[in-house]
Amino acid sequence: MARFLRMDGSSLPARMTLIGGNTLWFKVSGLGPDRKHLRIACSSPAARVSVVSARDSNVEQKLKLDIGDVRIATRATLTAHTQGGAPDHATQGVEIQLEPALALPPAGDETGMLARLLLAEAKGPGQPGFVSQSRTLLSMQWMRHVLLNRLKFGPRFFGAGNAGTLAALIVAPKQVEGFEAYPTLTGFPATNLEAIVRIANDGTYSGYASRREFMRNAIDVAKGINPGTDPCPTGLYAWRTEKADSPGDNFVKFVTESGTDFYTLTDAFIRDPLLRGKGKGK
């Protein structure tokens, strides 16, 4: 009986997920009943198994599994066969769930811009302040409500001039750090987004599933599929990293969620924003 192994020698699980474009490097330890290296095949036409090295003097052979374009989710199986083509029933196969790559909406769309903003601003898996996916989802929903509330109240009161859309509001000066020159992103937003998308689409990485859920949540919120509700009776109008300075005198902290402080407006400013002056902040 042979075994499917990872490159570090640990066993491949009996079930795993791979995503279009992935490459899985693995080993098979053991020979077939004919004392020769086994031939490994995958049942999906989207997958291709290649032998990297298989020396007769070594019971281990190294292989790789390349996943091509996957349009719809499907299942496949890695199975072992003798050199003559007979199935080797003594070697347990590996069931593989094949998933399409997850892509953000186009950068030029408003939903694409908002999804990228949410991924950059919300606390994702592995980041300080992250509690759970459900709590981070709340913070994403509330960030969207902040932007919508600013549009409704009047972008000029937040230093965003006559912005009439979410896209125009987001790129206005001093609204969202790092997004003024969108679609060009630099610094942490750029590197963070690249890492999230890369890991979410790499089934060989142990943390891919959590990043994939994080990414899906951001897309659903951006598209309005899962908008949530504004928890503040007077509306949310700003957010800051937890314990950061207040956005300005016209703001009052409402709640902290998943490493982010959310603010509403003072009653006096809501009653008469022209006399109080323009609010400042994100």
24-57: pLDDT as tens digits: 999 999 999 999 999 999 999 999 999 999 998 8
From CA 242, how far away is CA 237, in angstroms rounded? 15
Q: Tell me the H-state helices in 77-175.
A: 110-121, 133-153, 166-171
The string of pLDDT tens digits covering residues 173-227 is 989 988 999 999 988 888 889 999 999 999 999 899 999 999 999 999 999 999 9
pLDDT beyond 60 at 279: no
pLDDT beyond 90 at 236: yes
pLDDT beyond 70 at 146: yes
**pLDDT at residue 106, as a whole number:** 96
**pLDDT at residue 21, as a whole number:** 97
Torsion of CA 173, 178, 182, 183, to 10 degrees: 180
**Residue 281 confidence class, pLDDT cut points 50, 70, 90:** very low
**pLDDT at residue 17, as a whole number:** 97
Per-residue pLDDT, averaged over 119-125, amounts to 95
**pLDDT at residue 178, as a whole number:** 87
pLDDT beyond 70 at 230: yes
User: Domains of the chain by range and CATH?
Assistant: 3-99 (2.60.40.10), 110-276 (no CATH)
**pLDDT at residue 129, as a whole number:** 87
**pLDDT at residue 280, as a whole number:** 46
DSSP 8-state assignment for residue 253: E
Strand order across the beta sheet in which 94-99 lies: 15-19, 94-99, 74-81, 39-42
From CA 143, how far away is CA 122, in angstroms rounded? 9
Q: What is the mean pLDDT of the chain?
A: 94
Per-residue pLDDT, averaged over 125-142, amounts to 95
Mode of pairing for the β-strands spanning 15-19 and 94-99: parallel
